[in-house]
């Protein structure tokens, strides 16, 4: 989401790094570029103005001017001020007696229904017993969608169709939760194409009857400044306790994420980072700031890997790789596990420095290419995957037909895999103490 903003900020910092000492004029010029970058990313004008003023005030002070590395000090200040704008990390309030009621509000199309299911799954992983409530009676598809998602995730859904008004459905759901010992009730309320009095009056009634502990606005980050205005209106009327930004994995300019916390004073609690039901992340301001500044997000990457990957298989594969025993079957398993974590390009952005390096080092490595390689290996027999040396000309032609690839692609894959095995065995034999750079293998994910 922040790719364009990240590139612009990195150019500013690169310019500062080329100077041994920074004058006030240097800082002024850099701050003008930062201001333009943030405005182009659709960050609220007042937020940009205040942010740049705070950074400039600190950047022309003693801590930068007398620093041995002034450019790094400026980056440090920008990072700290960005974290301050994004706010403190905030968890859901689950204190007091159960059931805890969480009310999701927002405009139609923001992703409320899918987010309700994602949130229920996230809370169940932490030991809660969630009950989903289909309270959007104006859009029959929403009721069906929530019921379908509930069935897929094995999470119960309270649904009464459109027979009763939504406030009464929500009240009935809370009573059911108390009787059946559910610990969390998630209300999927109706949205509109735009805010109107009818919508707000209904939400007021639901709030009065269901008494939610959390009122979370689900906002589409793709809508930019409009999302900020929507958040302000909902907060003034309902008293929001938090925000959930959806479609963060899209090509939005990112301004909403930076602006909403500062403008509304309401913390961002979750981010929707994909369409799958497990694609909901707890919001960490420091990690978001790190991503924006191109410094990666290793902690989130590790957490995703721990949740998605089989640790024993990964350790076994790593040992086999260092011994030179790694085969194409191991590689296929690792590639399939890696795809569970997220898109390849997204993973590279989480590794410090790789968001810049990946375009130069592996411009051809895309998720589409990974799927093509997976198709090639999947078209091999078990013997061929475990002993690639048995693959002769006729086998290559059969594999090519089965995977929709060319024989040349099979040759290239086998050749690069052979080089990787040899290189890693040499590395393992020296105990990982070799110095210097390994040769790169463009287009091959292990390279």
Name the phi and psi angles at 414, rounded to 5: -65, -40
Residues 423-441 have a mean pLDDT of 50
In this prediction, residue 59 carries a pLDDT of 79
In this prediction, residue 179 carries a pLDDT of 95
What's the pLDDT tens digit per position in 128-162? 999 999 999 988 789 999 999 999 999 999 999 88
DSSP annotation of 251 reads S
- Given the structure tokens 């085969």, which residue do they identify? 327
Residue at a domain's end among 229, 263, 290: 290
CA-closest candidate to residue 282, choices 63, 18, 88: 88
With bands split at pLDDT 50, 70 and 90, how would you rate the model's confidence at 434?
very low
One domain for residues 133 and 255: yes
One domain for residues 224 and 272: yes
CATH of the domain at 358: 1.10.260.30
> Worst-scoring range by mean pLDDT, 58-67, 87-96, 322-331?
58-67
> Quick check: is 91 in a domain?
no
| Residues above pLDDT 90, as percent of the chain | 29
CATH of the domain at 52: 1.20.120.140
> Worst-scoring range by mean pLDDT, 27-31, 61-65, 168-172, 355-359?
355-359
One domain for residues 178 and 51: no
Q: Which residues of 410-423 are buried (b: 16+ CB within 10 A; e: fewer)?
A: bebbbebbebbbeb
| Residue 253 scores a pLDDT above 80 | no
**Max mean pLDDT range (118-122, 302-306, 381-385):** 118-122
Contact 59, 52 (CB under 8 A): no
Query: How many CB atoms are closer than 10 A to CB 105?
Result: 27
| Residue 433 scores a pLDDT above 50 | no
In this prediction, residue 439 carries a pLDDT of 40
One domain for residues 227 and 370: no
Residue at a domain's end among 33, 62, 86: 86
> Quick check: is 440 in a domain?
no
One domain for residues 147 and 251: yes
| Residue 65 scores a pLDDT above 70 | no
One domain for residues 134 and 235: yes
With bands split at pLDDT 50, 70 and 90, how would you rate the model's confidence at 296?
low
| Residue 238 scores a pLDDT above 70 | yes
One domain for residues 78 and 110: no
Name the phi and psi angles at 305, rounded to 5: -65, -40
In this prediction, residue 130 carries a pLDDT of 96
What's the pLDDT tens digit per position in 180-205? 999 999 999 998 877 888 889 999 99
One domain for residues 333 and 280: no
Range of the structural domain that residue 274 is part of: 100-290
| Residue 122 scores a pLDDT above 90 | yes
What is the total count of domains within the chain?
A: 3
What's the pLDDT tens digit per position in 345-396? 566 565 555 555 445 444 445 667 778 888 899 999 989 988 888 999 999 9
Contact 124, 318 (CB under 8 A): no
In this prediction, residue 158 carries a pLDDT of 96
One domain for residues 240 and 324: no
Report how far Cα 227 is from the mean position of its chain's Cα atoms: 19
> Quick check: is 74 in a domain?
yes
In this prediction, residue 308 carries a pLDDT of 58
**Max mean pLDDT range (6-10, 224-228, 231-235):** 231-235
> Quick check: is 152 in a domain?
yes
- Given the structure tokens 């609690």, which residue do they identify? 269
> Worst-scoring range by mean pLDDT, 70-74, 350-354, 436-440?
436-440
- The chain-wide mean pLDDT, for the chain, equals 80
Contact 131, 186 (CB under 8 A): yes
In this prediction, residue 342 carries a pLDDT of 65
One domain for residues 68 and 153: no
> Quick check: is 328 in a domain?
yes
One domain for residues 285 and 311: no
Residue at a domain's end among 228, 260, 290: 290
Q: What is the pTM of this model?
A: 0.67
> Quick check: is 17 in a domain?
yes
CATH of the domain at 252: 3.40.50.300
> Quick check: is 435 in a domain?
no
In this prediction, residue 447 carries a pLDDT of 35
DSSP string of 314-366, one letter each residue: HHHHHHHHHHT---HHHHHHHHHHHHHH--HHHHHHTSTTHHHHHHHH-TT--
With bands split at pLDDT 50, 70 and 90, how would you rate the model's confidence at 115?
very high
> Quick check: is 42 in a domain?
yes
One domain for residues 337 and 243: no
With bands split at pLDDT 50, 70 and 90, how would you rate the model's confidence at 171?
very high
């Amino acid at each position: 989401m922040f790719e364009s903003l990240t590139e612009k900020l990195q150019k500013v910092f690169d310019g500062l790094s080329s100077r041994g000492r920074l004058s006030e004029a240097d800082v002024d010029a850099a701050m003008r570029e930062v201001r333009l970058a943030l405005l182009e990313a659709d960050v609220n004008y007042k937020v940009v103005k205040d942010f740049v003023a705070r950074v400039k005030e600190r950047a022309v002070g003693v801590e930068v001017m007398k620093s041995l590395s002034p450019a790094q000090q400026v980056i440090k200040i920008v990072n700290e001020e960005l974290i301050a704008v994004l706010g403190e990390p905030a968890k859901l309030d689950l204190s007091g007696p159960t059931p805890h009621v969480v009310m999701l509000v927002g405009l139609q199309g923001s992703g409320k229904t899918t987010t309700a299911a994602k949130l229920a799954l996230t809370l169940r992983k932490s030991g809660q017993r969630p009950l989903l409530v289909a309270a959007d009676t104006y859009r029959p598809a929403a009721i069906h969608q929530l019921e379908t998602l509930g069935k897929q995730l094995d999470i119960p859904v309270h649904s009464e169709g459109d027979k009763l008004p939504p406030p009464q459905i929500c009240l009935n759901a809370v009573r059911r939760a108390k009787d059946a010992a559910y610990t969390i009730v998630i209300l999927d309320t109706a949205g509109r194409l735009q805010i109107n009095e009818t919508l707000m009056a209904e939400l007021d009634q639901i709030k009065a009857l269901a008494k939610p502990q959390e009122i979370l606005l689900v906002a589409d980050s793709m809508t930019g400044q409009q999302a900020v205005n929507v958040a302000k209106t909902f907060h003034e009327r309902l008293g929001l306790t938090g925000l959930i930004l959806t479609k963060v994995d899209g090509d939005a300019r990112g301004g909403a994420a930076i602006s909403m916390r500062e403008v509304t004073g309401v913390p961002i609690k979750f981010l929707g980072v994909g369409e799958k039901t497990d694609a909901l992340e707890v919001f960490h301001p420091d990690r978001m700031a790190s991503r924006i500044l191109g410094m990666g997000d290793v902690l989130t990457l590790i957490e995703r890997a721990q949740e998605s990957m089989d640790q024993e298989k990964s350790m076994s594969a790593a040992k086999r790789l260092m011994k030179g025993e790694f085969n194409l079957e191991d590689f296929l398993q690792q590639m399939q596990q890696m795809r569970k974590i997220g898109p390849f390009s997204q993973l590279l952005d989480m590794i410090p420095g790789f968001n810049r390096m990946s375009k130069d080092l592996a411009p051809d490595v895309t998720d589409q290419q990974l799927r093509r390689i997976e198709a090639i290996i999947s078209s091999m027999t078990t013997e061929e995957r475990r002993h690639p040396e048995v693959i002769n000309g006729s086998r290559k032609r059969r594999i090519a037909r089965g995977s929709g690839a060319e024989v040349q692609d099979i040759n290239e894959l086998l050749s690069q895999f052979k080089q990787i095995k040899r290189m890693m065995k040499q590395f393992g034999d020296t105990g990982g103490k070799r110095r210097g750079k390994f040769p790169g293998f463009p287009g091959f994910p292990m390279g």
